[in-house]
Amino acid sequence: MADSGTTTRTGNTNGGTPASALSGRTTLLFAVASGVAVANVYFAQPLLVTLSRDFGISAASVGIVVTLTQIGYGLGLFLLVPLGDLIDRRSLVVTQLALLAAALIATGTAATAPILLTALAAVGFLAVVTQTLVVFAASLSAPERRGRAVGLVTSGIVIGILLARTVSGALADLAGWRSVYLASAALTLVLTLALYRVLPRRSAAPSAMRYARLLRSTLTLFAEERVLRVRALLALLIFAAFSTLWSCVAHPLSAPPLSLSHTAIGAFGLVGAAGALAAAPAGRLHDRGLAGRTTGIALALLTASWLPLAFTRQSLWALAIGAVLLDLAVQAVHVTNQSLIYAVRPDAGSRLIGGYMIFYSIGSATGALASTTVYARAGWGAVCILGAAISALALLVWAATRTNVPAAGTAGASTTSAG
């Protein structure tokens, strides 16, 4: 079911490139580029205490650093990602990456808080190239290999998110927080050149749909597709819980009695590496028609993860266990969400994923601001109560909206179950 003004493209790229255009090496490059781009959104999390001190931002307000980045990301999802259904994705990817490198340089050289916050908002706005790459990979792949390609790119994103904190903390200890953004700018430029060389050129004429109509059609999809509405709400809640932990955990870890360094705080991103392992199995479970069950179990684990997290001050092992459970749960739900949503309307893939990810960004921004505010006023225990409440609400939403999920490959109708 294609909305007026678009052409259904099954197994082809945006613009008619053959589905076989995506080689294994190119898929891997997509995964690396996606991981590097999304990492920029999370670099600040282990650095909040330092940024608060260097720029005179209060402890209660420093969450705005993450929030503005996520707001920028949300705007980019709505304004930039849908362009992948309208113009040449190769040009879109290369241009966004080049501009992202410039925004990273501006962040790394910022002299005042307003400049820093503006540059970080721009970083978030342009980092949505990650989602363009996900849809690009799907459109370049043959249908029988699409899940594998999207799964690999998604794994790159997960690894990028998790390693962001570790790399950020280590570089900050070695050469200062500015080196984090300047090093990322250099790597982004290298990837820009690599993708410029390997991405296929468009062979067909661009779509005749106007940009304003394209944006309106994104909103229309929410009205038409129940799967998108329900799964977008779940994305908002799970990433609010995710951000509640990772945007605030630097505070108790850097304070006495733990007093950990940037490197040690960032290293806790590694304990969530199991989240990357959840991407492929979750996709396979979706293909077997088990999306609903996968979602329910993952949300139950997400809620339970806050019990060990509440003991972070007493035991770093408790933090490690809780973080593993939380990241596994979030990524399992996220991959299941994307698998269900993309199957609804492959011809509108950029708009579907962009619209869905707006709710991811809203959730991340809300969790960051709420958790740092709650921590400043009531401490770590209250933050864990907040995270558990958000997670339990997600579980209740799933239970209230759950119906039987159709078998894989039958999710194309607008009456598709939300799982």
Flag whether pLDDT at 176 surpasses 50: yes
Q: What is the pLDDT of residue 415?
A: 41
Flag whether pLDDT at 14 surpasses 70: no
Flag whether pLDDT at 86 surpasses 90: no
Q: What is the pLDDT of residue 340?
A: 81
Can you tell me the mean pLDDT for 238-257?
A: 88
Condensed to tens digits (0 to 9), the pLDDT of residues 277-334 reads 666 666 666 666 677 888 999 999 999 999 999 999 888 899 989 988 898 888 888 8
Q: What is the pLDDT of residue 349?
A: 75
Condensed to tens digits (0 to 9), the pLDDT of residues 120-158 reads 999 999 999 998 898 888 777 776 666 667 777 877 887
Does residue 299 contact residue 394 with C-beta atoms inside 8 Å?
yes
Q: What is the pLDDT of residue 384?
A: 97
Task: State in Å, rounded, how far the first CA of the chain is from the last one.
Answer: 20
Does residue 356 contact residue 74 with C-beta atoms inside 8 Å?
no
pLDDT-based confidence at 32, cuts 50/70/90?
A: very high
Both tokens of residue 5? 């003004």
CA dist., res. 193 & res. 184, Å (int) = 14
The one-letter code for the residue type at 358 is I
CA dist., res. 129 & res. 188, Å (int) = 11
Give 55 or 96, the one with higher predicted confidence. 96
| All residues at 6 or more sequence positions from 402 whose CB lies less than 8 Å from its CB, including other chains | 292, 296, 417, 418, 419
Q: What is the pLDDT of residue 301?
A: 94
DSSP SS3 for 248: coil
Condensed to tens digits (0 to 9), the pLDDT of residues 208-237 reads 678 888 888 888 888 888 989 999 999 999
Can you tell me the mean pLDDT for 47-73?
A: 82
Give 241 or 352, the one with higher predicted confidence. 241
CA dist., res. 3 & res. 5, Å (int) = 6
Q: Which pTM was predicted?
A: 0.72
Number of H helices, E strands in the chain: 19, 0
Q: What is the pLDDT of residue 105?
A: 97
Give 324 or 18, the one with higher predicted confidence. 324
Sign of CA dihedral 354, 357, 362, 368: negative
Q: How far is CA 37 from the centre of its chain?
A: 10
Q: What is the pLDDT of residue 419?
A: 63
Question: What's the length of the chain?
Answer: 419
pLDDT-based confidence at 206, cuts 50/70/90?
A: low
Both tokens of residue 157? 């994103």
Q: How far is CA 173 from the centre of its chain?
A: 26
The 8-class DSSP code of residue 409 comes to T
Does residue 222 contact residue 355 with C-beta atoms inside 8 Å?
yes
Sign of CA dihedral 56, 57, 58, 62: negative
Q: How far is CA 318 from the centre of its chain?
A: 25
Please give the share of the chain, as a percent, with pLDDT higher than 70. 82
Please report the domains of the chain, with CATH numbers, ordered by start residue. 23-204+220-401 (1.20.1250.20)
Range name among 64-68, 111-115, 237-241, 310-314 with the lowest pLDDT average: 64-68
- For the chain, what is the mean pLDDT? 81
Q: What is the pLDDT of residue 407?
A: 40
By C-alpha distance, which of 53, 343, 312, 96 is closest to 196? 96
Flag whether pLDDT at 10 surpasses 70: no
Flag whether pLDDT at 409 surpasses 70: no
Q: What is the pLDDT of residue 16?
A: 42
Range name among 14-28, 103-117, 137-151, 215-229 with the lowest pLDDT average: 14-28
The one-letter code for the residue type at 112 is T
Residue 164 parent element (H or E): helix 143-175
Q: What is the pLDDT of residue 392?
A: 97
Both tokens of residue 127? 């980092």
Q: What is the pLDDT of residue 279?
A: 61
Q: DSSP string covering 10-25, please?
A: SSS-TTS--GGG--HH
- Integer-rounded Cα Rg, in Å, for the chain is 20
CA dist., res. 70 & res. 232, Å (int) = 16
CA dist., res. 235 & res. 16, Å (int) = 31
